[in-house]
Homo-oligomer: A and B are copies of this chain.
Amino acid sequence: MRHLTRDMKKRIVILGGGFAGVYVARELERLARGRDDFDITLVSQENYFVFQPMLPEVISGTIGLVDVVSPLRRLLTRTDIHVREIEAIDTTRRMVITSPGFRPHAHEIPYDHLVVALGAVTDFRGMRGLPEHAFPFKNLGDALSLRNHVIRSLEEAAVEADDAELRRQLLTFVVAGGGFSGVEVAAELNDFVRSVARSYRTVDPNEIRVMLLHSQGRILPEMSEDLARFAEKILTKRGVEIRLNTRLSAATGIEAILGDGTRIPTRTLVSTVPAFAHPLLESLPLPKAKNGRLEVTRELNVKEWDRVWSLGDCAMVPAADGGFAPPTAQHAIREAAVVAHNIVTEIRGGKRRTFDFKGLGKMGSLGHRSAVAEIFGIRISGFLAWWMWRTIYLMKMPGWGRRLKVAVSWTLDLFLPPELVQLRVGTSRSIGREHFEPGQEVFREGDLGDRVYIIVRGEADVLKSARGEMLPVARLRAGECFGEMALLNETRRNATVRCAVPMDALSLPRSEFTLLSANLPELRSSFQKMADARNENTVVASKGS
Which residues of A are interface residues toward B (Cβ below 8 A)?
A: 46-48, 61, 64-66, 69, 71, 73-74, 77, 80-84, 98, 100-107, 140-141, 144-145, 148, 151-152, 155-156, 158-160, 163, 166, 170, 199-202, 267, 401, 404-405, 408, 412, 416-417, 419-431, 443, 447-450, 454, 456, 479, 481, 493, 506, 508, 512, 515-516, 519-523, 526
With the chains together, A449 CA to B148 CA distance in Å?
A: 34
Contact of A105 among B152, B401, B447, B456 (CB under 8 A): B447
Is the CB–CB distance between A200 and B416 below 8 Å?
A: no
Chain B contacts of A74 at CB under 8 A?
A: 199, 417, 420
Is the CB–CB distance between B104 and A145 below 8 Å?
A: no
Contact of A506 among B141, B166, B454, B516 (CB under 8 A): B516
Is the CB–CB distance between A82 and B159 below 8 Å?
A: yes
Nearest-neighbor residue (CB-CB) of A99 within chain B: B448
With the chains together, A281 CA to B484 CA distance in Å?
A: 29
**A138 shortest CB reach to chain B, Å:** 13
Chain B contacts of A443 at CB under 8 A?
A: 104
Is the CB–CB distance between B73 and A420 below 8 Å?
A: yes
Contact of A408 among B412, B419, B508 (CB under 8 A): B412
Pairs of residues from A and B, 8 with the lowest C-beta to C-beta distance, nearest first: A522-B526, A73-B199, A104-B447, A430-B430, A83-B155, A401-B416, A71-B420, A101-B156
With the chains together, A521 CA to B170 CA distance in Å?
A: 37
Chain B contacts of A493 at CB under 8 A?
A: 104
Chain B contacts of A416 at CB under 8 A?
A: 401, 404-405
Chain B contacts of A64 at CB under 8 A?
A: 64-65
Contacts A73-B200, A148-B425, A426-B145 given; does A454 touch B66 at CB 8 Å: no
Is the CB–CB distance between B47 and A155 below 8 Å?
A: yes
With the chains together, A515 CA to B132 CA distance in Å?
A: 14
Nearest-neighbor residue (CB-CB) of A106 within chain B: B448
| Subset of 27 A-B contacts with CB under 8 Å | A46-B422, A47-B420, A71-B199, A71-B421, A73-B199, A73-B420, A74-B417, A81-B155, A81-B158, A83-B158, A84-B159, A100-B450, A102-B166, A103-B166, A105-B447, A105-B448, A107-B159, A141-B425, A401-B416, A425-B425, A426-B426, A428-B428, A429-B430, A430-B431, A479-B519, A520-B526, A522-B523
With the chains together, A199 CA to B72 CA distance in Å?
A: 9
With the chains together, A83 CA to B420 CA distance in Å?
A: 13
Nearest-neighbor residue (CB-CB) of A526 within chain B: B522
Is the CB–CB distance between A163 and B103 below 8 Å?
A: yes
Nearest-neighbor residue (CB-CB) of A144 within chain B: B425
Is the CB–CB distance between B431 and A428 below 8 Å?
A: no
Contacts A74-B199, A421-B71, A430-B428 given; does A170 touch B104 at CB 8 Å: no
Is the CB–CB distance between B431 and A481 below 8 Å?
A: no
Chain B contacts of A423 at CB under 8 A?
A: 65-66, 140, 144, 425
Nearest-neighbor residue (CB-CB) of A84 within chain B: B159
Contacts A105-B448, A523-B522 given; does A421 touch B48 at CB 8 Å: yes
In the complex, besides A145-B426, A523-B523, 9 extra interface pairs with C-beta distance below 8 angstroms are A65-B423, A71-B420, A73-B200, A80-B158, A82-B159, A103-B163, A104-B443, A105-B448, A522-B523
Nearest-neighbor residue (CB-CB) of A165 within chain B: B103
Nearest-neighbor residue (CB-CB) of A478 within chain B: B519
Nearest-neighbor residue (CB-CB) of A49 within chain B: B421
Which residue, of A145, A428, A456, has the highest number of chain B Cβ atoms within 10 A? A428
Is the CB–CB distance between B431 and A429 below 8 Å?
A: yes
Chain B contacts of A450 at CB under 8 A?
A: 100, 104
Contacts A201-B80, A430-B430, A523-B523 given; does A425 touch B159 at CB 8 Å: no
Chain B contacts of A166 at CB under 8 A?
A: 102-103
Chain B contacts of A430 at CB under 8 A?
A: 427-431, 512
With the chains together, A141 CA to B449 CA distance in Å?
A: 27
With the chains together, A65 CA to B101 CA distance in Å?
A: 26
Chain B contacts of A520 at CB under 8 A?
A: 454, 481, 523, 526
With the chains together, A522 CA to B516 CA distance in Å?
A: 14
Nearest-neighbor residue (CB-CB) of A71 within chain B: B420
Chain B contacts of A408 at CB under 8 A?
A: 408, 412
**A73 shortest CB reach to chain B, Å:** 4
With the chains together, A155 CA to B151 CA distance in Å?
A: 32
Chain B contacts of A98 at CB under 8 A?
A: 159
